[in-house]
Amino acid sequence: MGKHWKQSVESDGIARLILDKAESSVNTLSREVLEELELELTEIANKNPTGLIFASGKSNGFIFGAEIKEFGQIDNAQEGTDAVLRGQALLNQMEDLPFPTVAIINGTALGGGLELALACNYRLAADTHDKTLGLPEIRLGIHPGLGGTVRTVRLTGAPTALDLMLTGRSISPRKAMDIGLIDGIAPPEDLDQVAATYICNRPKQARAPWYLRILNIRILRLLVARALEKKVAKRAPRAHYPAPYAIINLWRQYGGRDKAAYNAEAASFGRLLISSSSKNLVRVFFLRERLRNLAPRKNKVARLHVIGAGVMGGDIAAWCAAKGLEVTLQDTTEELVEMALKRANKIFSRLLRAPGEAQAAQKRLIMDAEGLQARSADIVIEAIVEKLDAKQNLFRNLESNISPDTLIATNTSSIRLEDMAEVLEYPERFVGLHFFNPVSRLPLVEVIKGEKSARDSLQIAMSFVMQIGKLPLPCKSAPGFLVNRILAPYMMEALEAFKDGYCSETIDAAARNFGMPVGPVELADRVGLDVALNVSTILQGISSGKNGSDILRKKVDLGQFGAKTGHGFYHYKNNRAQRRKHFPTPDTQLQDRLILGMLNQAVACLEESIVEELEFLDAGAIFGAGFPPFTGGPIKYAQEMGINKIVERLTQLSEEFGPRFHPHPGWNRLARLRL
């Protein structure tokens, strides 16, 4: 019996190899797991069974992928290449066994886990609508390294294989069967029996159909690869994200065939693994894990009451109902709640695809215009208009109607928690839960500690955020919290640049070239110029000496609130910004103004302990403000660029553009830290 693998040969003559990774809640392919597999395979081959079934001993899935922690131990390309060459040799050994092999996939099979299954002759998966199968390596700045770039092409044809690897998306077992990645699905309890029939009957092994294999002709590969590269370049510039280009290149050169394709995969994997892009994306992976596990997963919330059925309240309610909570929704009139319920239905049909799930969520989201159900809620979230007196009035009446241990949360983006808490009898159960717009797409929620918020209340709030599948970021109560604080100089500098004569398109291009997902001008339009004006007023003096609120005020006075009114800095058609095709190329100084202002603000936030740890700052900036993941976050980026260089550049900018670029004194302390 091995430490991780359990081997048996049953009376039917079939060997079974079960992975139940020791001291781990999930199966991952660590070096030790793979080394042990090699020994097990040799032993099984000597027993000459009629077939071999691979399965998982964990009820939560098959294999989640490689042991990502081990990536950090590799710091030269050859070492990375050698590690995957050993893994490839092992999987090839499996593939060449003289008896049939079947993988039973009882749930999640990702990355290396799926690659292991691909090296079996047949794959069977437990029937579920969950998207359990995928090759998400691209999200870590690498690509499959255990033969996945070769075997997916062989099984599904190049278009599907490349799509899976380039997007890193997961698919359901049914979809995987449609595209030829797996051979069958069955109820979990039948899988072993079905696997045994595959071994007895040895049906023909799957292969991509001929019309897809034709695409592997060299001349077609050259053409398709070029088109794909163009498409990828729009989303992921080569300099920031080399992995997608490496995937396309492997296919262009080798067409997913022969030994050379495996060797090239290994060499390319080794190179990518030590790239700064991959190292930083791995860091982002662990930052996400860190936030995901910040609080104990107890205190399950069953009932939520949301007050304010507007843009935020309506969407928060919908999201939570989609995640299984019973939610009541309150506003000043039934019509307003009705409108939010209609919007919620759209969110449900997008998020919940399995039969009956969307309808079940609809049932969980209940109209409660008068707020009669607040008393039975575990948490009440306030998301009404951003006015202190309105919020205080609401809290005054609310508290007498709910039990003293119900948590009260506000979604305010700019009002001091302490001011709102003044009217509360039990301010210790009051916290901020700052969601971002659009709620269903943005993963972060800032969990705000007011002066009087109790530790327990914060823990409940954090567990709740985790329960609904979002990432909690603990923040101090201070204007703008973390994310808006970082974004303010970004947007305000864009307005300054606008005043200096740059056009919106050029300004946004400067930021997008750096890797920001949305340029600052479009971001202001999306946030709403009325909201941006409000935020700029509140953050005035913190983010920048100057600010562009005069331009914002002009736009707001004209009724141009941005995307929501169809007019802002851009015109919007079907919610898409209408951009000029031709505009001046941005210069590096413009990019520096936009990005270095954010970095300077990030350092200020760190010095003021807006977040308690440096890692939280990078995490908040990436998951909340969209700071490019390939950089590892603003602080990591500054360290990589060289802090002295950044400080020097900020000094130059401050000489030219004024004190808003004065390097924050916190840079000195940062220069002494190492990430």
Query: Distance (Å, rounded) from C-alpha 321 to C-alpha 364?
Result: 6
CB 411, min distance to ligand NAI, A: 4
Number of residues that bind ligand NAI (CB under 6 A): 25
Q: Bridge-partner residues for 476, per DSSP?
A: 449
In terms of Cβ atoms closer than 10 Å to its own Cβ (0-12, 13-18, 19+), residue 298 is: exposed
Q: 138 by DSSP, 3-state: which?
A: helix
Tell me which of 2, 313, 519, 562 binds ligand NAI, using CB under 6 A: 313
Mode of pairing for the β-strands spanning 61-63 and 108-110: parallel
390 counts as binding ligand NAI under rule CB under 6 A: yes
Tell me which of 35, 38, 70, 386 binds ligand NAI, using CB under 6 A: 386
What does the DSSP assignment read for 309-351? -SHHHHHHHHHHHHTT-EEEEE-SSHHHHHHHHHHHHHHHHHH
| Residue closer to ligand NAI, measured from CB, 305 or 649 | 305
x-or-dash pattern for ligand NAI, window 529-558, by CB under 6 A? --x---------------------------
Residue 440 annotated in active site? no
* Catalytic residue (choose from 4, 143, 305, 434): 434
List binders of ligand NAI among 118-177 (CB under 6 A).
none
Residue 263 annotated in active site? no
What does the DSSP assignment read for 268-322? HHHHHHTSHHHHHHHHHHHHHHHHHTSS-S-S---EEEEE--SHHHHHHHHHHHH
CB 376, min distance to ligand NAI, A: 18
Query: Distance (Å, rounded) from C-alpha 330 to C-alpha 381?
Result: 10
Return the CA Rg of the chain.
27
Tell me which of 45, 311, 454, 518 binds ligand NAI, using CB under 6 A: 311
C-alpha dihedral (28, 444, 281, 286), degrees to nearest 10: -40
385 counts as binding ligand NAI under rule CB under 6 A: yes
Q: Using alpha carbons, list the distances in angstroms from residue 599 to 95, 542, 603, 650.
A: 51, 14, 6, 10
394 counts as binding ligand NAI under rule CB under 6 A: yes
CB 483, min distance to ligand NAI, A: 10
Tell me which of 332, 359, 401, 588 binds ligand NAI, using CB under 6 A: 332
The pair phi, psi for residue 310, each rounded to 5°, is -80, -155
Tell me which of 116, 312, 431, 611 binds ligand NAI, using CB under 6 A: 312
Considering only the stretches 87-95, 177-185, 405-413, 579-587, report the one whose residues sit in contact with ligand NAI under the rule CB under 6 A: 405-413
* Catalytic residue (choose from 172, 278, 484, 536): 484
Question: CA nearest 635: which of 671, 594, 593, 590?
Answer: 671
CB 393, min distance to ligand NAI, A: 7
Considering only the stretches 230-238, 268-276, 302-310, 346-354, report the one whose residues sit in contact with ligand NAI under the rule CB under 6 A: 302-310
Question: CA nearest 517: which of 229, 236, 163?
Answer: 236
* Catalytic residue (choose from 27, 268, 413, 600): 413
| Residue closer to ligand NAI, measured from CB, 142 or 374 | 374
563 counts as binding ligand NAI under rule CB under 6 A: no
Residue 143 annotated in active site? no
CB 401, min distance to ligand NAI, A: 13
Given a contact cutoff of 8 angstroms between Cβ atoms, the answer to whether 585 and 643 are in contact is: no
Q: What is the DSSP letter of 87?
A: H
Considering only the stretches 185-193, 221-229, 430-438, 503-511, report the one whose residues sit in contact with ligand NAI under the rule CB under 6 A: 430-438
330 counts as binding ligand NAI under rule CB under 6 A: yes
Measure the CA angle with vertex 247, ends 242 and 252; round to 5°. Answer: 120
CB 284, min distance to ligand NAI, A: 23
Query: Distance (Å, rounded) from C-alpha 193 to C-alpha 198?
Result: 9
| Residue closer to ligand NAI, measured from CB, 383 or 590 | 383
412 counts as binding ligand NAI under rule CB under 6 A: yes
317 counts as binding ligand NAI under rule CB under 6 A: no
Query: Distance (Å, rounded) from C-alpha 158 to C-alpha 224?
Result: 10
Q: Which residue is nearest to ligand NAI (CB)?
A: 310
| Residue closer to ligand NAI, measured from CB, 331 or 525 | 331
x-or-dash pattern for ligand NAI, window 340-379, by CB under 6 A? ----------------------------------------
Q: Which amino acid is it at 189?
A: E
Query: Distance (Å, rounded) from C-alpha 179 to C-alpha 175?
Result: 6
CB 437, min distance to ligand NAI, A: 3
Query: Distance (Å, rounded) from C-alpha 346 to C-alpha 349?
Result: 5
Tell me which of 92, 437, 537, 589 binds ligand NAI, using CB under 6 A: 437
Residue 571 annotated in active site? no
Mode of pairing for the β-strands spanning 122-126 and 444-449: unpaired
Considering only the stretches 21-29, 63-71, 310-318, 425-433, report the one whose residues sit in contact with ligand NAI under the rule CB under 6 A: 310-318
Q: What is the sign of the dihedral through the CA atoms of 384, 385, 387 and 390?
A: negative
Given a contact cutoff of 8 angstroms between Cβ atoms, the answer to whether 20 and 60 are in contact is: no
Alpha-helical (H) ranges within 404-471 are 417-421, 455-467
Q: Work out the number of other CB atoms within 10 angstroms of the CB of residue 438.
A: 13
308 counts as binding ligand NAI under rule CB under 6 A: yes
| Residue closer to ligand NAI, measured from CB, 168 or 313 | 313
Residue whose tokens read 């590892």? 632
| Residue closer to ligand NAI, measured from CB, 173 or 474 | 474
Rounded to 10 deg, the angle between the 77-95 and 31-47 helix axes is 20
CB 461, min distance to ligand NAI, A: 15
| Residue closer to ligand NAI, measured from CB, 330 or 601 | 330
CB 418, min distance to ligand NAI, A: 16
* Catalytic residue (choose from 265, 382, 446, 496): 446
Which residues lie near ligand NAI (CB under 6 A)?
Answer: 307-313, 330-332, 336, 383-386, 390, 394, 411-413, 435-437, 527, 531
Catalytic site positions: 413, 434, 446, 484
